[in-house]
Structure 1
Amino acid sequence: CSKEVETFKEQDPVNRLFILKALCEVRLEQNDAVCYITDEMKKGVSIGNFRKDKLGSASDGAIYWYVGDSTIGHRLYKEDVLVGFKNNWKGKDGRLTKPVTNIQWETVATNLNEFLEISEKLCSKGRSEATIGEHLKENIVPAVEKFQKKKERDLKRRQQKNERLERLAFANVFQTRSLRERKAVSY
């Protein structure tokens, strides 16, 4: 197993991503995964828990995807699909060959400041981008804000707990036996 891990680590990031994607696709086709998803949907769980839908498409062809909840955090991804056509001039009539598709992913936002920045940026662009930006402002930014405040509160609690433990440990280091005189017991 360690040999496979080392080989995987040696791959460039794009190849690692393709390997992980292939593993996920293979895993989803296995019977137990399909049964699990079917059983969960029968219980009323939304399909959105298993499959993510796109947030919207921009006028330049970019597709925005939002993934997030209070457990894993919030992320906004941008998918750029570039299709390149090449002319094949061999033969009597020039014809198009199979197009070359290049898909690039970018993580656009992972925290509140980035979500606010991208929503403002999208709102100042065209109509389709403004729709995505408004959706971000109205629906997603409040959830990200709530998540970030929760994270900050948890961090503050942990820091306070650590400080209390440090003070307690410090006090225990210097704690000595009482110096008062003991009185003899008389019955």
Structure 2
Amino acid sequence: MTQVNRKKISSLFKDIKIGGTPSRGNPAFFGGNNLWVSIKDMEGQSIITKTLEKITDEGIEHSNCKLVKKGSLLFSFKLTVGRVSFAGQDLYTNEAIASFDPEEASQAGVDLEFLSIVLPISAQGDTSKNTMGIALLNKEKIFNLEIPLPEISKQKSIALTVKNQLAQVEMARKAINDQLNELNILRKVIMSKAFNI
């Protein structure tokens, strides 16, 4: 059996962009045209094209927000560790989200779809907890995460297989939910007829 190389994130990416939050005390920093991603935005959105909040150019200028290029992988590492999405356009994120640049990934021989699968798994065992018992990582811990890294064609093949299988699981989940809803309706009809309600 062929042994798969394992690589530290630090050996693959020179930099990981961590976002920021403009001061909430200045209303002029919010409500602009720039997408600003929080972990909530990543729920149910595999590709981010809209956000609950937007920030102004002034907000960017007076904060630690960094431009995240379209196609970048977004990875949540605080509060909800391991949520992943892709930037559907150039955008900005808050400080609970790290981003991986597509050009840098390509130069390192990393398929970002593959990374979106293995990174959350690798992160599971490396989180620490704050005083409230909430799991979190930091930039240093992300850099020290080790991931399996087969050749690029194998990465793409694995990512495609997993994506297809997860799509089937999601279809099955929806079908089960639909059946449960129908059973609940049937139950109500039966009870209604039984008691002439």
Is TM (by shorter chain) over 0.5? no
TM-score, length of structure 1 as denominator length: 0.30
Higher relative contact order (CA 8 A, sep 6+): 2
Q: Which has the larger radius of gyration?
A: 1
TM-score, length of structure 2 as denominator length: 0.29
More helix by share: 1
